[in-house]
Chains A and B, each alone.
Chain A
Amino acid sequence: MSWGFLFAALTPFNFLLAFVGVTAGIVIGALPGLSATMAVAVLVPVTFGMEPASGLIMLGAIYTGAIYGGAYSAILVNTPGTPSAIATTFDGFPMAKRGDGDLAVTLATISSVVGGLVGALALLTLAPTLATIALKFGSVEYFWLAVFGLTLISALSEGATLKGFIGAAFGLLLSTVGVAVVGGDVRYTFGSSVMLGGVEIISALIGLYCIPVLIDLVATPDPHLNVGEGRPRGFRLREAMGLALRSKLNLVRSAVIGTIVAILPGAGGSIASLVSYTEARRASPRRENFGKGEPDGILATESANNATVGGGFIPTLVLGIPGTPPDAVILGALLVQGIRTGPELFNENAAISYTFIFGLLIATLLLFPLGLVIGRYAYQSIITIPKAILAPTIAFMTVIGTYAIRNNTWDVLIMLVLGVIGWFLSRGGFKPSPIVLGLILGPIAEQGFVQGYLIGNARGAVFETFFGRPISMVIIALIVVATLYPLIAALRRRGRPLREGIANDD
């Protein structure tokens, strides 16, 4: 590695590509339905005429921008722009609702930059070492990881645990619709070929989160967001910096979680941000504020999801195995360019890989000014546009966005149906997050279980396969702790008077 690559990344053309890429990415990511994967896929052909490193810089910048842009709609409209921003809605929207939308956007910007830098630095310095972790993760580990993810439901739905579990069960059921990857069975399509493709996660996201918000927007006289007093207050940068500094441990921990989860192919930004959210909540002295507009919640999810960008490139570039869906598109673009990934990319093609990584770092830094400016504009628009225009605009976006995911009209119908179901469920105190969690984790758990079982069976050691591997044991321990934690916490709270009681008995 040499500093020459830094200068190669800083040529005016490459800098311009990073600038344009981040800007385009932010805008696309902010629109629900237009995901990071799509942003990258649409713009891949543009890069074919460029030098490989320049093309990669542009794609990396779009990806970075899109993951960050998902936070805007999460905070301002309560709808994750990308699946990675699901957990950003938990505290982002309550903050915006009470008039702190500007602060929330600035917090998201700061944490996205921090997370992005940690992920990209891991890619720069530790890529080969970390790539081996991806290979240590087998089917069984994915199964246990998904089960661990499902234990988060109890944490996410405290006070209404049963409703959380019912929601998750509904999500798991939805995830089985269509053709099974393992086994090829056709399930719950009710004879309709339309359902063969299953329920698309992003259309479910839009339906479950966005439609209830829209219905409430139309059905109530309240303004969409409270504006707060003393407007305009600018970026509220100093305030946000103070909060970020107070929670620097949270920021770094979330970024590390994001990086590591992204290294595991198939896990992705949604799981990374949910895991770090839960960890932040568990470690926080203000844990009862989570879900009610706690800044630490946004810091955790946004730091984690932007860390997945650099993290996901690690298996992609080192092993030729895409870490996240956008990485699959970028890997394809590299192959079309005639470039093979693998260790040789870092040796023989060092100029390409290191120029790209420095480009990614530059794009992440550009996120800061660009994100603040565009975010401020987005916030201003949302609070100034009258409801009569805002509601139809969002409605229009949900339809276009859902259609665009797979160019499929039926997805729009599925989205609307789920939206109405979501509205009724929200009236009954059910939250959309456990449903979406079930939908995302269901296939991972199912495939991991069946694959692990088939492999264990072939070796004549099913039990050892599931419980005997070291990483599995660690995850199982985490599951046990996560499941028992509320119980332990309750006992500890009760413990003190109990002991006093015993003492009094003497």
Chain B
Amino acid sequence: MQRLIGTALGTAALAFAVSAGAQEFPQKGVQYIIPFGPGGESDISARLQQEYFSGITGEELVIQYKPGGGGSVGWSQLNDMTADGHTIMGTNLPHIILQPLAKDVGFETEDLNNFYFFHYSPDAIVVSKDSPYETLEDLVEAAKETPGAVTFSGSGTYSANHVAQTRFDQLADITTTYIPYKGTGAAVTALKGGEVSAEWGYTTVGANHMDDTRMLAVASEERHPLFPDVPTFQELGYDLVGGAYRGMAVPEGTPEDVQQRLSDIFHEINNNEEFQQRMQDLGFFMIDVPVDEVDEFLAERREEYTEVARDFGLID
């Protein structure tokens, strides 16, 4: 009997200790590694999370950069890092799915322990203010008339922009030419300089260059509050929803309850109205995928991207 009580007490104490451990997390500053250079969208959204993180936990969220290989240099090293929850790394879709499908990048999608996805930059077709294309239909017609002659700038090969271009070409049954640039900044320059007919960009591009660009359609489920007049692709009859999704992952072996706690913290940040407003003003779209829904969310995206990877000729 005594032994039984002892075991029960012990178990209870252990359970208490475990939950206390998670409650006490974080005990020091959390290192937030962005696998890209500073100044990009991943950096900007992380910077916005920073101040709310310390508001909730009393600890600092310290941003570091580990750029290279479109994120793969960072992701391939994540699981070698300290697994106590005080090191987290930004993750991006479609990157973490398409890169391992395309080539050996030193990690597999399943290797990354994503614990939360917090927002995305919806894909959008952007043209300059003086473009002859007033509507998406104008552009589709032009592409039908002379296949391949409509050119789109976009950021990189096999990126979210490239995925959107490939999928839209299929949905609209058109052929367009995708020109990859190094980053969104260079793709916008090409658009503004009149080098390309249009850009496959994001709502964030429309938000940052509102004065001299126009969006024809956005790939979100609802219209973006910043652009109430711009239709979604779905409204126009094309079933296209997507963009560059951003989440966070921890090294392999990080305790479950710490992951849960991290997910809760970022969920709370996402529900802060001021944070939402600031993200929205930059053109982002909030999503809320906590740790227990991450697998399902990734499985859906994976199905989608695998199909695109087939079209790219990356897999048979």
On A, residues with C-beta under 8 Å from B are 37, 41, 44-45, 48, 134-139, 178-184, 186, 191, 193-194, 196-198, 200, 265-266, 319-322, 325, 328-333, 335-336, 338, 340-344, 406-408, 443, 447, 451, 454-455, 457-460
Contact = CB atoms under 8 A, between A and B. Distances in A.
A55 to B, nearest CB: 13
A332 B188 CA distance: 16
Nearest to A183: B157
Given A320-B209, A335-B282, A455-B196, A44 B47 contact: yes
Interface string B37-63: 111100110011011000000000001
A121 to B, nearest CB: 24
Interface of B: 33, 37-40, 43-44, 47-48, 50-51, 63-70, 72-73, 76-77, 102-107, 148-151, 156-158, 177, 179-182, 185-186, 188-190, 192-196, 207-212, 278, 281-282
Contacts of B278: 338
A256 B104 CA distance: 46
Contacts of B190: 138-139, 451
B66 A196 contact: no
A266 B186 contact: yes
Contacts of B48: 336
Nearest to B45: A336
B210 A184 contact: no
25 contacts: A41-B39, A139-B190, A182-B157, A183-B157, A184-B180, A186-B104, A193-B72, A193-B105, A196-B69, A266-B186, A319-B192, A320-B208, A321-B185, A328-B185, A332-B39, A335-B208, A338-B281, A340-B207, A342-B210, A407-B64, A408-B77, A454-B179, A458-B148, A458-B150, A458-B177
A179 B185 contact: no
B39 A193 contact: no
A409 B40 CA distance: 23
Contacts of B103: 186
A110 B127 CA distance: 45
A186 B100 CA distance: 12
A336 B64 CA distance: 17
B179 A184 contact: no
A297 B47 CA distance: 41
A344 B211 contact: yes
A37 B106 contact: no
A137 B190 CA distance: 9
Given A184-B102, A328-B38, A407-B66, A340 B210 contact: yes
State the main secondary structure of chain A at its contact with B. Answer: helix
A179 B69 contact: yes
A379 to B, nearest CB: 32
B216 to A, nearest CB: 19
Contact of B157 (A48, A180, A342): A180
A332 B38 contact: yes
A498 B39 CA distance: 60
B106 A196 contact: yes
> Could you say which of A184, A331, A460 has the most chain B C-beta atoms within 10 Å of its C-beta?
A184
- Which 7 A-B residue pairings sit nearest by Cβ, starting from the closest? A197-B68, A193-B106, A196-B69, A328-B39, A184-B157, A135-B193, A41-B38
Contact of A197 (B73, B192, B210): B73
A203 to B, nearest CB: 11
Contact of B195 (A321, A331, A443, A455): A455
B67 A406 contact: yes
A198 B102 CA distance: 18
Contacts of A335: 44, 208, 282
Nearest to B184: A321
A451 B278 CA distance: 35
